[in-house]
Chains A and B, each alone.
Chain A
Amino acid sequence: MSSTALPAAVPMQAERDDALLRATRRRRVMSKIVAHGALILGVLIVAFPIWMTLVGSTHDAATIGRGDVPLLPGSHAIENYATAWNEGGGKSRTTPAALMLWNSLLMALLIAVGKITISILSAYAVVFFRFPLRMAAFWAIFITLMLPVEVRIIPTFQVIVDLSLGNTWAGLIIPLIASATATLLFRQFFLTIPDEFVEAAKIDGAGPLRFLKDVVLPLSLTNIAAMFVILFIYGWNQYLWPLLIINDRSMETIVVGLSKMIGSGDSQNEWNTIMATAVLALLPPVLVVALMQRWFVRGLTETEK
């Protein structure tokens, strides 16, 4: 009797396991479908404004002015970009995008390089030397974290006026190049450099500047790359400070220039050339993030520690 009952029970158990396995597998597949669906939707939401801007930059002003912006690109791309590049976008055609892009590039590079340079120098001094007021100097730098340019905007502007640095590159860049975050990051990294390296350098008769150039800088390259991506974007995207400091049209940066083209958001605007300028304004920092993604993510998560 038992010999007939057992073979029947075993398939039943196996069947149940099988059903359970199938349910789990189905749940997993469902979970993956949900994930893909949500992520595709997320990507679409993120990309939609950019896509419509790209589309807007390829139609003529009349099509957009009528309010019939199609979902697909049109045939006026070359002339729109040429106009924006050579003459400027919008109705008033103030500053050509080529010049504004150059100004933005200069500003972003000078801010990024300046911040990295003075941060490395000061972090190096704080880590590898002992001198009076060392910690006071460190705290003085550290506390600037709490004074973003937005909250001290009017008095800082007055300082610039007193030093007659308005409308100059120095006035635009120097107030923005002190960086507590970069100094903290480099200090943190320098502390991890083994003492033996310093001892070896001393035995070899290398001085502190030689050690900085031949040992510390090569070791810091990935950190410098990570900082560069973050700071380049920071510099490129500056808005309030250039808006206050620069009145000279020939020094206009593209982010501020673009915003000025819109005016009050009038429908009679030349939206096609404005959208072409917008694409030009967002392309360089987006390319930097896309091409240096590894350093970007690293720089972002490291600096916040």
Chain B
Amino acid sequence: MQKKVIFKGKLLPLALLAPQLAVTFIFFFWPAGQAIYQSLLREDAFGFSREFVGLENFHEVLTDPSWVNAALNSLVFSGFVAGLALGLALFLAVQADKSIRGATAYRSLLIWPYAVAPAVAAVLWLFLFQPNVGMLGRWLNAMGIAWDYRLNGGQAMTLVIIAAAWKQLAYNFIFFLAGLQSIPASVLEAAAIDGARPARRFWTIIFPLLSPTTFFLLVVNLTYAFFDTFGIIHSLTNGGPAKATETLIYKVYVDGVQNLNLGSSSAQSVILMILVIGLTAIQFRAVEKKVHY
């Protein structure tokens, strides 16, 4: 798409673009190039010596049991976060879409957790599930369940999933509600006149018509769970206990910042970049579909 009527000039547009392009090149392309370059090198922690090792770093990363562990954790974590946040949000959006009193009030009350930072969400849930202080943590212990997310890996994973899904619920709810409201009322009325009950109307009409939104949200949720939840994990569990909640992004941080293993950390970054590029490509195809249907 292009405009027919435009202004003349070559220098002015370049000057207008300069700030954005400068930031993009210095802080995006240069570091991304560095990551690719370093992923092909082996360097000692102090930067005294470096040698070219080809794809060896990648081979090491992909066969490293602790990387495989982090990859599996990421899959479990993002699968549950996306499933939980999408399922609950869809259910609530369907309820809020009914013509009931106070629908806008419910909407306002459901969307604000979007504004809460992941790290702050972690603090809120920690205060509930802390085993000695937290109300729910103490209650679980009183019920005879030995609850301590600092010792039990499964419980730690459960807690970070709850905190991450809680925060994402609002986002999904907004999109599902917008999707539901764009379904023509006439289609649903026709089905109702034909005698289709609400449950049947949902599964045969609403859900298929919503599928572009659902697919788009699934990709967004996976991206969120993979990349934006560092704050939750860092505040709640530090990847522990015994790396039970160490995700891929957390491992990049640990290996690069704490262990100063630049070659390995860069190779992991490059793998993650490929992952983001894949997810973004899928997302754009989903958006195109959404526009066309």
Contacts and interface: CB of A to CB of B under 8 A. Distances in A.
A7 interface: no
Given A46-B113, A131-B13, A267-B132, A175 B27 contact: yes
Interface string A44-65: 0111111011001000000011
B266 A155 contact: yes
Contact of B117 (A153, A237, A244, A304): A237
Given A141-B20, A300-B171, A282 B32 contact: no
B14 interface: yes
Contacts, number: 298
A19 interface: no
Contacts of A243: 234
A19 B34 CA distance: 75
Nearest to A148: B227
Given A49-B124, A304-B220, A208 B12 contact: yes
Contacts of A109: none
Given A42-B110, A156-B31, A240 B174 contact: no
Task: Name the prevailing secondary structure of the A interface residues.
Answer: helix
Given A118-B23, A146-B277, A147-B276, A208 B114 contact: no
A72 interface: no
B106 A129 contact: no
Given A195-B3, A195-B5, A244-B257, A282 B31 contact: no
Interface residues of A, number: 104
Given A46-B166, A154-B35, A159-B30, A278 B123 contact: yes
Contact of B21 (A64, A137, A195, A211): A137
B3 A46 contact: no
Interface stretch (A78-86, A217-225, A283-291): A283-291
Contacts of A113: none
B127 A275 contact: yes
A286 B115 contact: yes
A178 interface: yes
Contact of B262 (A34, A49, A154): A154
Of the four ranges (under 10, 10 to 19, 20 to 34, 35 or more), the interface on chain B belongs to 35 or more
Scoring A128, A153, A233, A267 by chain B CB atoms within 10 A of each residue's CB, the highest score goes to: A153
B114 A42 contact: no
B10 A154 contact: no
A259 B111 contact: no
A11 interface: no
B1 interface: yes
A232 B149 CA distance: 33
B88 interface: yes
Contacts of B55: none
Nearest to A137: B17
Contact of B27 (A50, A156, A265, A293): A156
24 contacts: A42-B110, A49-B121, A49-B124, A49-B127, A64-B133, A117-B19, A122-B20, A124-B16, A128-B3, A150-B272, A152-B35, A154-B265, A155-B38, A155-B266, A158-B34, A177-B23, A183-B20, A191-B1, A195-B4, A208-B12, A259-B234, A267-B133, A293-B108, A297-B111
